[in-house]
A and B are shown apart, each in its own frame.
Chain A
Amino acid sequence: MAEYLVCGVDDIPEPGHRVVQCGEAEIGVFRFGGEFHAWHNSCAHRQGPVCQGRLYHRVVEPLANDGTVRMLAHDPERLHIVCPWHGYEFDVVTGQSPGDGSLKLRRVELRVQDGEIYAVL
């Protein structure tokens, strides 16, 4: 087990992410809802650089009581990292694909201490 100093907590905007190399591993550290989560930069689809993608709030389509729809919306509670290769999306908190829960990113443990973020690999 090795620890890597990623950056200070204030170096990652809310919401935002930073992608770093820790030895052999590339990881993405995400800040969302006041929490930090880290994932290996290897997409569950074809090992693309998922953490180097863009962040989007999950898209939802609210249903009215009568079953009709009128417009799309962003869910402010859910943030997705989108793999730039083919567009697979993953929830930055759970690491799961919204379309197939069995598709998951690999989590990296983090330790936050004295305003610094450490990755444990």
Chain B
Amino acid sequence: MFSQTFRSLWRNKLSSFLSSLTTGFALFLLGTSFLVSINLGYMYQMAESQMEIQAYMNKEASDAELAAAVTQIRDMPGVSEVKFVSKEAALEELKDMFKDKASVLDSLEEDSPLPPSVRVNTTGAEQIPVVVEALKSIDVINDVIYQEEVSERLAQIGKAVQYLSLGGMLIVGIVAVMVIANSIRLAIDARRQEIGIMKLVGATDGFVLMPFLLEGVFLGLLGSALGTGFAVGVYNWVAGKIAEFIPFMPIVGLETQSIQEMFGIMALTGVIVGLTGSAFSVRRHLRV
């Protein structure tokens, strides 16, 4: 049965080749949309992780009080990272910023005029308002500073990005499925005489269908390999160009795992569409 499938693929090599190329191209689009969506997610995460809340604390508070507050903050839900900046450290940072104008700050050597603070990162932009409220309720904290508008916008964008990339992948997925199904249909329509002859010679529907199903699976796999290959190649090329011209733009480096995931999605799409597409297309010609 398998050798027959390969022989048939080989003898119909032009149409097999075109079908797998079409499948590959359709899946390439799907893969590209998958990669774009990974990157949008990544960019959003980067932006999110840079959203920092600064909580300024009472200058007079004792070290023990400060330490207790930091522990309390660490345990808050929605908090991912807490960095304590002591009075002295704050002064060092300030000096660092103005190191060419050191003289201005020399007088401050003795006692730091700056309050100690904590810098808090949240697990997501939507957590920021909650965490801010919780911080404000802590005694030793005098003032909480964060980019209110930016964080709200970011939370909105985050949702939009999720929906958009999901919707985009869905649309591209549907288009890919239609393109693949259509190419299979054309390839099988071209062989409807063959199917009719098989039936007239006494083949059962299953017997006629089987090799077409195997071909469908095989073309689906071949197409998804091609599609993954194209997508990874193009992606790496584009990522290289971007890194060259816009060095600060965050781009996800492709790991083996995401390539495998992508191939998985494509192979699944390719094989399912290959199978059902072949089955439906052949069925139309079986009534002889």
Interaction A to B: no
